[in-house]
Amino acid sequence: MQVVVCCNQEITSSNKKQVGKDKVENEELIKYGLEEDVWFHADKLSSAHIYLRMREGEVWDALPEELVIDCAQLTKANSIEGKGDPG
């Protein structure tokens, strides 16, 4: 399982991102995920599970848009369908 502190160099967030790249790692994330983790996954596609660990006091709907987009791009980059699509 990979722990990514920041994927996009322009984002200064210290939130940790955990990436499960296959079924086994995804199951581990589900098993050990916390209630305050935000989960990213491509709907109806085979993709990585991305868990964003929020800091104390953060709420998911107030996360910076750039951070959410970064997590979405990380999910896409680690999905079977999204790897070849630049959009």
What is the per-residue pLDDT across 6-60, written as a single tens digit (0 to 9) for each?
Answer: 344 334 456 778 888 778 888 888 888 888 888 888 888 788 888 888 888 888 8
Band of the pLDDT at 82, cuts 50, 70, 90?
low
pLDDT of amino acid 18? 81
Query: Which residue has better confidence, 79 or 85?
Result: 79
Distances (CA, A) of 17 to 14, 48, 85, 87: 9, 12, 23, 22
Find residue 20's DSSP bridge partners: 49
Using an 8 Å Cβ cutoff, are 50 and 74 in contact?
yes
Q: Is the pLDDT of residue 5 over 50?
A: no
Q: Is the pLDDT of residue 3 over 60?
A: no
